[in-house]
């Protein structure tokens, strides 16, 4: 989560409803596997997926699935489209089933991700058809529209640390406009962009693939998708891998309140010492404290003199925060480019084309209107939020003072949900009841999905095994960590999970 900031149904019934042995039934109420089940209307259950080669990914097949806007009232409202994909098992004779993936965020796109997993993990690709999808609300599926590009660019402003009354009022007003625009421009779609609706889309996809059970892998927010799916459909889950879990035991508010601290921890305990150890290369200071002081001085300078990237883009204080936060997700892939970009800003007028290109990559873009629309809809709809804006102003002032890297922009996100219409999405209580042993992966200094939330999620999901990774990368599987990859591959291929919780060392960061 990169904010705050990878066939046949048996027909029955001439009345237009289908009950397909136990394979196609959806729970009528979420959070209880034994709840009364509701029948799936035939127009969804009897559809056939028309597969074709995916644009931009020749190893994948894509199709479009039709789903109801509201699974709890499928006769109400227009149908939606969900784009789905699959990578067929490379070893059909040894094929053991379907591995379903979902993307994090909320707001990440999963459609083309099976290609990368198949390339990185050939043994898994030989044993499974790997499938995924773009969630409802995202491009290529029925999209949620909230902002123009210009409105999105203006949403974050230039310096979230400005806590003057005028700046605070402007932040709250921009958040109100975003919440209102999502309702007004979405054609009634916004209330139905929820994790609960997504997992029901997933189970229809499973049924249309003609399988009774799926294995599942999901990173970041996709761990909540997986946990919700497993709670609602435990009898449909074969194996379950949850990588860098969000705190799905509580609410989005309680989980996201922990992110300012976890991003600051990763910045100060991992990146700044790494940067100080390479002072001869980047000249940011020989100690973590000195490197932090240099970074803060650069941020102050950008307030009055943003770095011009061309095409209307500038590196402002907020852009410095955004790029720094994004680089903290992966020490090997992010620390060196971030340090190179920081050093280039210190001599911007004489920076080489290569240095300017790195600065553009690191600081040029942050999220997208499509990502932010999905993110706000899911986080505001899924679970309740406090609507006391005065309290949010006071609380986020504390975040800004103690954890400024992402705490400074907490008001912008929290004010959206504080002004979002009340949601009717059902609550899900994750317990692990009826599930096979689940494998969970988490790192101690993960900035986005903090370890404290992972521990709570681990306790909530009874029977799970937690693999704790040293360091702070976000996303453990296929991250160059042999210890993690061997555990996950063994589990997916044989079902063998560790007897108890285990640890793995961190992958080595690149020197840059």
Percent of the chain residues topping a pLDDT of 90: 89
What mean pLDDT do residues 207-220 have?
Answer: 98
What is the C-alpha separation between 269 and 317, in angstroms, rounded?
Answer: 22
Give 304-327 pLDDT, tens digit per residue: 999 999 888 999 999 999 999 999
Give 466-504 pLDDT, tens digit per residue: 999 999 999 999 999 999 999 999 999 999 999 999 999
Q: Is the pLDDT of residue 37 over 50?
A: no
Give 240-265 pLDDT, tens digit per residue: 999 999 999 999 999 999 999 999 99
What mean pLDDT do residues 181-192 have?
Answer: 97
pLDDT at 507: 82
The residues, ordered by sequence, that sit 6+ positions from 469 with a Cβ below 8 Å of its Cβ are: 441, 442, 443, 444, 476, 481, 483, 484, 503, 504, 505, 506
- Rounded to the nearest 10 degrees, the angle between the axes of helix 195-208 and helix 369-382 is 100
pLDDT at 74: 95
Q: Is the pLDDT of residue 28 over 70?
A: no
pLDDT at 312: 84
Is 10 or 164 the better-scoring residue by pLDDT? 164
Give 404-414 pLDDT, tens digit per residue: 999 999 999 99
Q: Is the pLDDT of residue 416 over 60?
A: yes
pLDDT at 20: 32
474 is annotated as an active-site residue? yes
87 is annotated as an active-site residue? no
User: If pLDDT is split at 50, 70 and 90, which confidence band does 272 have?
Assistant: very high
Q: Choose the catalytic residue: 186, 220, 423, 464.
A: 220
pTM metric for this prediction: 0.92
Q: Which residues of 343-377 are buried (b: 16+ CB within 10 A; e: fewer)?
A: bbbeebeebeeebbebbbebbbebbebbbbbbbbb
- The residue whose two tokens read 């063998």 is 496
pLDDT at 497: 97
Percent of the chain residues topping a pLDDT of 70: 92
Q: Is the pLDDT of residue 23 over 70?
A: no
pLDDT at 39: 77
First to last CA, the chain: 25
What mean pLDDT do residues 292-302 have?
Answer: 98
Asked which of 26-30, 127-131, 454-458 is least confident by mean pLDDT, the reply is 26-30
Q: Is the pLDDT of residue 18 over 80?
A: no
**In the Cβ-directed half-sphere of 244, how many Cα atoms lie within 13 Å?**
30
The residues, ordered by sequence, that sit 6+ positions from 252 with a Cβ below 8 Å of its Cβ are: 378, 379, 380, 382, 383, 385, 417
Q: Is the pLDDT of residue 32 over 50?
A: no
Q: Choose the catalytic residue: 72, 445, 458, 474.
A: 474
Mean pLDDT score across all residues of the chain: 92
220 is annotated as an active-site residue? yes
User: If pLDDT is split at 50, 70 and 90, which confidence band does 509 have?
Assistant: low
Q: Is the pLDDT of residue 393 over 70?
A: yes
From residue 34, alpha-carbon distances to 71, 228, 232, 233, 235 in Å are: 18, 15, 9, 9, 10
Q: Is the pLDDT of residue 211 over 70?
A: yes
- Rounded to the nearest 10 degrees, the angle between the axes of helix 165-184 and helix 369-382 is 90
Contact 413, 419 (CB under 8 A): no
Architecture of the 17-141+193-251+427-504 domain: 3-Layer(aba) Sandwich (3.40)
pLDDT at 27: 44
Q: Choose the catalytic residue: 446, 458, 464, 485.
A: 446
pLDDT at 33: 39
Give 65-103 pLDDT, tens digit per residue: 999 999 999 999 999 999 999 999 987 788 999 999 999
Number of H helices, E strands in the chain: 21, 16
User: If pLDDT is split at 50, 70 and 90, which confidence band does 510 have?
Assistant: low
Q: Is the pLDDT of residue 6 over 60?
A: no
Domain boundaries, the chain: 17-141+193-251+427-504, 146-185+256-382+386-419
Cβ neighbours, 10 Å, residue 194: 27
Contact 447, 37 (CB under 8 A): no
Give 102-115 pLDDT, tens digit per residue: 999 999 999 999 99
What mean pLDDT do residues 376-391 have?
Answer: 97
pLDDT at 38: 56
């Amino acid at each position: 989560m990169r904010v705050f900031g990878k066939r046949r149904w048996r027909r029955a019934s001439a009345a237009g409803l289908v009950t397909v042995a136990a394979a196609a039934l959806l729970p009528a109420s979420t959070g209880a596997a034994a709840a009364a089940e509701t029948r799936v209307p035939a127009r969804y259950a009897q559809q056939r997926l028309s597969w074709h080669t995916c644009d931009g990914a020749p190893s994948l097949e894509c199709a479009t699935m039709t789903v109801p806007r509201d699974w709890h009232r499928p006769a109400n409202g227009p149908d939606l489209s969900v784009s789905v994909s699959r990578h067929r098992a490379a070893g059909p004779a040894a094929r053991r089933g379907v591995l379903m993936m979902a993307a994090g965020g909320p707001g990440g796109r999963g459609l083309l991700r099976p290609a990368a997993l198949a390339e990185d993990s050939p043994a898994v690709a030989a044993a499974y058809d790997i499938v995924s999808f773009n969630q409802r609300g995202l491009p290529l599926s029925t999209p949620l529209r909230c902002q123009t590009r210009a409105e999105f660019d203006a949403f974050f402003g230039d310096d979230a640390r400005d806590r003057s009354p005028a700046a605070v009022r402007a932040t709250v007003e921009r958040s109100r406009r975003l919440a209102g625009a999502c309702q007004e421009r979405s054609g009634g779609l916004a209330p139905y962009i929820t994790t609960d609706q997504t997992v029901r889309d997933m189970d229809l996809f499973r049924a249309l693939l003609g399988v009774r059970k799926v294995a599942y892998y999901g990173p970041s927010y996709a761990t909540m998708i997986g946990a919700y799916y497993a709670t609602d459909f435990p009898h449909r889950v074969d194996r379950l891998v949850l990588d860098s879990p969000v705190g799905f035991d509580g609410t989005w508010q309680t989980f996201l309140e922990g992110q300012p601290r976890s991003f600051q921890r990763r910045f100060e305990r991992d990146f700044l010492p790494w940067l100080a150890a390479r002072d001869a290369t980047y000249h940011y200071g020989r100690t973590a404290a000195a490197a932090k002081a240099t970074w803060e001085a650069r941020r102050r300078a950008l307030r009055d003199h943003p770095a011009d990237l061309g095409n209307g883009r500038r590196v402002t204080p907020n852009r410095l925060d955004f790029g720094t936060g994004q680089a903290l997700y992966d020490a090997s892939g992010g620390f060196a480019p971030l340090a190179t970009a920081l050093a280039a800003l210190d001599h911007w007028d004489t920076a080489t084309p290569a240095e300017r290109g790195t600065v553009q990559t690191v600081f040029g873009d942050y999220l997208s209107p499509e990502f932010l629309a999905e993110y706000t809809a899911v986080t505001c709809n899924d679970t309740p939020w406090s609507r006391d804006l005065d309290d949010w102003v006071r609380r986020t002032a504390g975040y800004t003072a103690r954890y400024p890297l992402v705490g400074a922009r907490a008001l912008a996100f929290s004010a959206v949900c504080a002004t979002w219409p009340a949601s009717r999405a059902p609550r899900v209580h994750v317990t692990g009841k009826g599930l096979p042993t689940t494998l969970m992966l988490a790192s101690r200094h993960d900035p986005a999905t903090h370890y404290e939330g992972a521990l709570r999620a681990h306790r909530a999901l009874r029977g799970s095994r937690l693999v704790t990774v040293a360091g702070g990368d976000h996303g453990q599987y296929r991250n160059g960590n042999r210890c993690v990859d061997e555990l996950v591959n063994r589990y997916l291929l044989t079902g063998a999970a560790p007897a108890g919780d285990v640890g793995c060392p961190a992958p080595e960061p690149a020197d840059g």
